[in-house]
Amino acid sequence: MKQMDKIVQTLIINGTLTEQPGLFYGKTGIAVFFFHYARQTGNGLFLEYAIDLIEEIHKQITITVSSRYDVGLSGIGVGFEYCLQNGFIETEDDDFFDDFDAQMYRIAMYEPYTDLSLEGGLVGWGRYFLYRLRGNGHNYSKLHEALTHIVNEISQNIMKNAVSEHEQPDVYRFFHDLSIIPEYADKYRNSLQLCMEWKCICESDVLKLFPYMGNLQRLYVCQGSFNMNLTEEIEHEWKKWEEQDDIQTDMGLLKGVSCNALLHLTRLNSNTVSWFNLL
């Protein structure tokens, strides 16, 4: 517990000092932890701190913010939607996501994409619209139009065999998540089937999938997206993790202090596993 207290203090001191607002390396990931921690401890001060971070992030968002999932608008929007869907924040304001939706719609429909990855490419943009459609987004027609545009673009790359090995796990996971939405499941079933024929997906070699993640994150994501029973592997990795004494230099959700804090919390309470879906 002392270790957890030390981690929390580190995040409190550095949270507001962290300039990056994004999900993987910045304030959004830190806020996700404090929302979970406030619920776990019942301490309202941690809830207030998380809300303060959300307000600061809102102030930082401008037209010049990157669209990337790891550091930019799409990941921040998913982080906010995640907090809303999990009951960490409440809003009666239907306009809460209007600026996000309008900006992401323009990006998805008119801006060129660099690649198909989650971190910085088209799958990251698609993740934003997936989360919004699974929530209570009132801009349904725009959200649907943008997601359909993105899915069609990725499908064309699949048909052309233009998806790199690095992008394939992210693309497969995207179509796997897409199949949960009924109106997309049948329409893009063929794209998902083609993804399942890729060598890395067929072999399901966990070590080769999602290389940007840590081992525990990778195992949890693979168990959810590949219908794999990785219980023994996960427990083995937890034991290895408990023996580590890593010093993180960033505060982020991907591999930084926020990640370490949420891993501690998940070890104490398995109800927090939903945060792995953000990676």
CATH number 3.90.1150.10 given to 2-278: no
Residue 182: its pLDDT value, please?
85
* Exposure b/e, 178-217, CB count within 10 A at least 16 = b: beeeeebeeebeebbebbeebeebeeeebeebbebbbbbb
Quote the tokens at residue 13.
Answer: 């001191």
pLDDT at 35: 97
* Closest listed residue to residue 185, CA positions, set 153, 158, 151: 151
pLDDT confidence of residue 276: 95
Walk along the chain (279 residues) and give the pLDDT tens digit of each residue: 678 889 999 999 988 889 999 999 999 999 999 999 999 999 999 999 999 999 999 888 876 789 999 999 999 999 999 999 999 988 766 677 888 999 999 999 999 999 999 999 999 999 999 999 988 667 789 999 999 999 999 999 999 999 999 999 999 999 999 998 888 988 999 999 999 999 989 888 888 899 999 999 999 999 988 888 999 999 999 999 998 876 677 899 999 999 999 999 999 988 889 999 999
Tokens of 235: 């427990």
pLDDT score for 59: 87
- DSSP string covering 34-85: HHHHHHHH--HHHHHHHHHHHHHHHHH--TTS---TTTSHHHHHHHHHHHHH
- 65's tokens: 């913010």
pTM of the entire predicted model: 0.95
Sign of the CA dihedral 38, 81, 22, 234?
Answer: positive
* Predicted local confidence at residue 189, as pLDDT: 92
Q: What is the spatial distance between Cα 173 and Cα 56, in angstroms, rounded to a whole number?
A: 31
Domain boundaries, the chain: 2-278
